[in-house]
Amino acid sequence: MALSPGIRLGVYEVTAQIGAGGMGEVYRARDTKLDREVALKVVAESFTHDPERLARFHREAQLLAAMNYPHIATIHGLEEDNGAHFLVMELVEGDTLAQRLENGPNAVRGDTRRRASAGIVRVPHVRDGGRSAV
């Protein structure tokens, strides 16, 4: 189900498609209620009648909701509107992982090291099994 700019899902107005994958598409959208930009991850229409795929999508939402980590987008909600199932997530600006990998895996690692040394990235402590961050 490709969504065009201007289409609304609940209080969210789609402004652009920003990605696609195996489960569906990702869109930039405007939360008209809270006046903020968000990302909508919309399940592909072909999966909306597949209980197993929908269950997987719901598990993904529950896992994301349980996490609070700097490299994982915050989930704002799990919604359904007129048969469309979607996650409402924090919109994270920047290159996709695929775009960053075009420069090779060392480009990703080097950027992470640079950001860590600047104090931008929290790194889990190895001694305590990653339960705390520095």
Residue 32 is predicted with a pLDDT of 97
CA atoms within 13 A on the CB side of 16: 4
Residue 116 is predicted with a pLDDT of 46
- Assign residue 8 a region (left: φ > 0; alpha: ψ between -120 and 50; beta: otherwise): beta
Tell whether pTM > 0.85: no
Residue 112 is predicted with a pLDDT of 55
Q: Where are the domains of the chain?
A: 8-90, 94-123
Q: What contacts 7, CB < 8 A, 6 or more positions away?
A: 13, 14
Long-range contacts, stretch 55-63, CB < 8 angstroms, 24+ apart: 56/23, 57/23, 57/85, 57/87, 60/87, 61/87
Residue 132 is predicted with a pLDDT of 41
Residue 54 is predicted with a pLDDT of 93
Taking the chain (134 residues) in consecutive chunks of 10 residues, what is each chunk's mean pLDDT?
Answer: 91 95 92 97 92 92 88 90 93 78 69 48 42 42
Q: Which CATH architecture has domain 8-90?
A: 2-Layer Sandwich (3.30)
- Token pair, residue 63, equals 């896992």
